[in-house]
Structure 1
């Protein structure tokens, strides 16, 4: 096979697998940012914090990191509910959620980063399951399980979240709460309670993404800086509140970023990927998969 074609095919496959990780991170943000209109800038920091929790507990208990991520997700969901309770009490109920609420999440982000540095130091940490060293080869295409299995687990979790949002009363209430909270009150549903639960689900998904992250690459307390722009870009490109759009945008973003890194060098990768985001928004302000108002 022509070397350029082989590089292209491997770049596409690796980009799709990388997109699975982006989808896991951005799907939780699609709930908080897209459905609740809460700009949780601390979402990637919570993902990294979950990654450290998976490394600590998974290493101590000898459990698979992806299984450990599923086990710690409820604890992070409770943490998210607590964060939303503070956010609502001090900002949202007073109508200060725009600028001051954003500053609140910046504060949460830096508290998490400093706390991780104090607890674990600035060094990189990782947790390798046995299967992470296996690579399947299909002709000239390499498929490392280190990236394949986290991507599949992430997509399966997103599928379950989509079913929950589409097929349950609480899920439909989450989708409706940012659009018409008064209508929910008329149905004897407390919008604050629904938003608290939804924000908890969002942070719980950050924990799942954190477990996938520690398999794909080593992490350090500042690793979330790399993901802030990417997860927001994927969320916006996918149409904000659309989970299916979020997945498709994440896969496309991963492919564009990876192909750029493969053919032109890693330094060009963020510029091309975010340039593509700006082009998409110039043509479709509602995102690739969002609906026009």
Structure 2
């Protein structure tokens, strides 16, 4: 096989695996930002906090980091419901969720970052489970388990979220709450409770994504700055409230970014990836899977 073709195929495969990690992060944001219309700028910081929690628990108990990521999700769900309670009490119910609400999440983001620095220091941390050093070779294509296992966990979490949103009454209520909360009240459903549950789910997904992240790469308390633009761009590219769109956009973003880094260097990859975002929005302003107004 031609070396360039082999390099391209490996770049595409690695980009798809990286896209799985992006999809886990963006799926939670698709719930809070796309469905609830809450601009949670602290979402990537919560993801990094989930990664540090996995490092702390996994190191102390000797458990697999991906298992810890799943086990800690209920704790982060409760954390998310608590954050939403504060947001709703001080901002949303008074109609101040626009600028003041955004400032609130900026504050949450910086509190998380400073708290992580105080607890763990500014150094990078990571975990190396046994499979992190294993690479499957399929012909000319290398598939590192360090990236494959987190991507599979991400797809499983997204699949569970999709089933919940499409097959349960609560999931359907989450999809409807931002569009017509009054209709939910007529059905004896409290829209605030539904939004609180949905926001908790989005934070739980961020924690799972953080657990996957520490297997793929080292993290430090400021790592969330790298992901802010990416996860919001993926969410917008996919069509805001579209879960399938967020997944497809994450894969596209990961492939474009990784192939560009492979052939032209990592410094070009963000520019080209965000250029794809602008191209998609120029052709389809509503995103890949968004509905036209």
TM-score bucket (shorter structure): over 0.9
**Equivalent residue of 1:60, what SS?**
helix
TM-score, normalised relative to structure 1: 0.99
Name structure 1 gaps, 5 residues minimum: none
User: Are 1:196 and 2:189 counterparts?
Assistant: no
Aligned-pair distance for 1:154? 0.5
For the residues of structure 2 that align with 1:178 and 1:289, how far apart are their CA atoms? 18
1:1-293 pair list within 5 angstroms: 1-293=1-293
Cα displacement (A) at 1:283: 1.2
SS of the residue 1:277 aligns to: helix
CA shift digits 1:211-239 (9 cap, x unpaired): 00000001000000000000001101111
The alpha carbon displacement at 1:2 in A equals: 1.0
**SS of residue paired to 2:286:** coil
TM-score by length of 2: 0.99
Deviation, structure 1 residue 164: 0.3
Count of aligned positions? 293
Q: What RMSD, in angstroms, separates the aligned Cα atoms of the two structures? A: 0.5
- C-alpha distance in 1 between matches for 2:29 and 2:179: 17
Offset at residue 19 of structure 1 (A)? 0.1
Q: Note the alpha carbon deviations across 1:118-138, whole angstroms, 9 max, x for none.
A: 000000001111111100001
Q: What's the offset of the Cα at 1:289?
A: 1.3
Q: CA deviation at 1:279?
A: 1.2
Offset of residue 3 of structure 1: 1.0
Q: CA deviation at 1:290?
A: 1.1
Aligned-residue offset at 1:282: 1.2
Offset at residue 170 of structure 1 (A): 0.3
Q: Which runs of 4+ in 1 moved over 6 A?
A: none
